[in-house]
Amino acid sequence: MNFSINTDVLLNNLLVSQKALSTKTPAPYLQGIKLEVYQNELVLITSNSDIAIKLSIKDESLSVERTGEALIPGRVFVDFIRKLDKGSVEISVVDNNVLRIHSHNTDLSLNLQNVDDYPEINFVMNDTPIKLDSKIMKGIIRQTTFATSNIENRPILTGVNIKVEKNHLLAIATDSFRLSQKQIDIKDEFENMNVVIPGRSLDELIKVLELDLEEILIHLNHKSILFEYGNILFQSRLLEGNFPETGRLIPTDFPIIIKFKTDDLAVAIERASLLSSKDNLNSIVKLYLKPDNVVEITSNSPEIGKVIEEVYPVEKAIGTPLKIAFSSKYFLDALKTFNSENVYVKFTGEIRPFVIEGDDDPDLIQLILPVRTE
């Protein structure tokens, strides 16, 4: 194996591929990057068992003298290429087990891993992928993964449920205390599909999507999901088990509706939460819709003091006075997902789940369970 390539081209692709490198594994080969060199193409493959990435590089700077394949220690290789001067780098295998990297006045030799140890990874593509604008895909991830669970005792809740029904795609995440649901319309009708993608996989995918290409193709099957993005194939395993049926949890009748300016509400809750608790997860604030249509956001700490924030709704609230308590973190997390200048907070009662919706986010629903304080 012997080839040369522009250093920046190689580095930019390595920075993507390293996102699937395993850092803690009993299998050392998963800490490696597999290079496959063809006459006009360089392929990089990485995997950490949860996700796998395959990049195809067909750049004009690529010059191949001898084809072949090798398994390279991943982190060391990426860090070294990162430090090279701009220009061209020549990479070759000598004595079958040593990788030689030469650029300008720099020469490095790396001991190779046994390429035969690397597992055969099948990147599963189908004939009818779902086509999405990459910005829409980023929005789906940003608006749902934060609501997945971090607790492993219910693994299914650590993922995002993706349902495809005809020409609709529904993404749902819940940790059983809050829920996020995003629906989008897709151009063509597809076979019904109901899968759960690990939230961590989607968090890595959104980093890849920073390349800002226009379109992403989604190849979906019952065992894995593959995202095709330019020269990148990003594949994730799926979580096994049945995701809870959440449709019945979302109320449809709201006797109390308050419309707020999103920023005003966020600032009031954030300030109030400073006094409620040192523990961000247990930072509880109370909302009080007064008879005069003013909303008070309050919190208190016996050791510190009490805060009252007054927020004026954009228009007269619908319904009767209300007092309700909730996690400020959950509320603020939900507000950050909206692109709307105004949001509607819809209540069904003081101890029942409430919903947040936005003017300019018609297909996004955030649901939060209140907290009992008495």
Tell me what pLDDT residue 374 has: 66
Question: Within this chain, do residues 171 and 239 fall inside the same structural domain, yes or no?
Answer: yes
Please give the structure tokens belonging to residue 210.
């920073």
Q: For residue 228, tell me if it sits in a domain.
A: yes
The one-letter amino acid code at 95 reads D
Same domain? For 134 and 228 the reply is: yes
Report if residue 123 sits inside a domain: no
Instruction: Give the C-alpha separation, 61 to 297, whole Å.
Output: 60
> Which CATH number fits the domain that encloses residue 310?
3.70.10.10
What CATH number did the domain enclosing 194 receive? 3.10.150.10
pTM of the model: 0.92
d(CA 90, CA 53): 23
Q: Give me the average pLDDT of each 10-residue run along the chain (374 residues).
A: 96 95 82 96 95 97 96 94 94 92 92 93 91 94 96 93 92 97 90 93 93 87 92 96 92 96 96 72 87 92 83 95 95 97 96 96 96 80
Residue 97 lies in a domain: yes
Based on the domain organization, do 110 and 143 belong to the same domain? no
Residue 83's SS3 state is helix
Task: Please state, in angstroms and as integers, the Cα–Cα distance from residue 194 to each residue in 130, 190, 286, following that order.
Answer: 14, 12, 37
Among 69, 88, 117, the domain-final residue is 117
Round the CA-based radius of gyration of the chain to a whole number and report it. Answer: 25
Q: Give the domain-ending residue among 245, 280, 315.
A: 245
For residues 37 and 107, membership in a common domain is answered with yes
80 and 58, same structural domain?
yes
pLDDT value of residue 279:
56
Number of domains in the chain: 3
Q: Are residues 347 and 257 in the same domain?
A: yes
Expressed as residue numbers, the domain containing 79 is 2-117
Same domain, 136 and 109: no
Instruction: Quickly count: other Cβ atoms within 10 Å of residue 340's Cβ.
Output: 18
Among 67, 83, 117, the domain boundary falls at: 117
Q: Is residue 158 part of a domain?
A: yes
- Evaluate whether residue 124 is within a structural domain: no
